[in-house]
Amino acid sequence: MSTATAPEATTPYVPSAETLGAVLAPSEQPARPGAFAVSMAFGWRAMLKIKHVPEQLFDVTAFPIIMTLMFTYLFGGALAGSTGEYLQFLLPGIMVMSVIMTTMYTGVSVNTDIEKGVFDRFRTLPIWRPAPMVGYLLGDMFRYTTASVVILVLGLILGFRPDGGVVGVVAGVGLLVAFSFAFSWIWTMFGLMLRSEKSVMGVSMLVMFPMTFLSNILVRPETMPGWLQVFVDVNPITHLVAAVRSLMSGSTDMGEIVWVLGSGAAFIVVFGTLTMRMYNRK
């Protein structure tokens, strides 16, 4: 009858200080990246997604061109008597419409990354918490600028002549991009709140269509019924279009510009706060 032998006791290996020093990096631990650096890194990540999927630029190139040509030649003769005269009124508005409607894709991108589990990895990183959200918006600012430039170049070809000159045009585009950055926080909140990207797209379109078409983009509010003017007058898109038009035409309206900057700051404070609360709890 065989008897089992007890296993010999082993001494745990304890590496010496010299061994650890040879393995570990001799320099000091790198400092934690700041909020700006991390946000720019996530912004670059958004840009790389455009590089690998260039079809994402269709909505900021083909869509603005179609919108500009369609509304110019569809309504120009009926509303202004000539397409050239109507283009002077329409182009700043159609630029706002194209860029603002592009902002909804921020929420779609957020929701897609959530479904893929990417955000679970972001939350484990020792970084500034809002950086992934800010990175999405910084990357989308390139898309907003691209759409604005495409519409402006097409408008110049068709005969648009801004009396505000280069300074007025640059200021108008800058104000539009800055407001779009603030406005996009609404869609990041929806991207976190809703279950699928189709839901985000559906809710975004439900909100965007009344805001863009019930404004001063296509026609002057004075031609609308009184009850509709009440909504148009408080619509932030109406004030944004008026501010961009005033800058491009050379007759700067500081009241409208202040209104746009104030509403943009309110969007960031309200929806940015709600977005981060949902992001930290989701």
Give φ, ψ of 196 to 5 degrees: -140, 160
pLDDT by residue for the chain (282 residues), tens digit each?
455 555 555 677 777 767 766 666 666 666 777 788 888 888 888 888 777 777 777 778 888 899 899 988 888 887 777 888 899 999 999 999 999 988 888 888 888 888 888 777 877 788 888 888 888 888 888 889 999 999 999 999 999 999 999 999 999 999 999 999 999 999 989 988 888 888 888 898 899 999 999 999 998 998 889 899 999 999 999 999 999 999 999 998 999 999 999 999 999 999 989 988 888 776
Distances 88 to 160, 173, 204, 226, 264 between C-alpha atoms, Å: 6, 16, 29, 26, 26
Written as six digits, the tokens of 50 are 């455009």
So where are the chain's domains? 34-281
Give DSSP secondary structure letters for 149-185.
HHHHHHHHHHT---TTHHHHHHHHHHHHHHHHHHHHH
pTM of this structure: 0.82
Cα 180 from Cα 98, distance rounded (Å): 11
Residue 139, amino acid: G
146-172 as b/e: b if 16+ CB within 10 A? bbbebbbebbeebebebebeeebbebb
Q: At a CB cut-off of 8 Å and minimum separation 6, what does 273 contact? A: none
Residue among 46, 58, 87 at smallest CA distance from 181: 46
Asked if 151 and 91 count as a contact pair (C-beta separation under 8 A), the reply is yes
Tens digit of each residue's pLDDT (9 = 90 or more) over 107-161: 888 888 888 887 778 777 888 888 888 888 888 888 899 999 999 999 999 999 9
3-class DSSP assignment, residue 197? helix
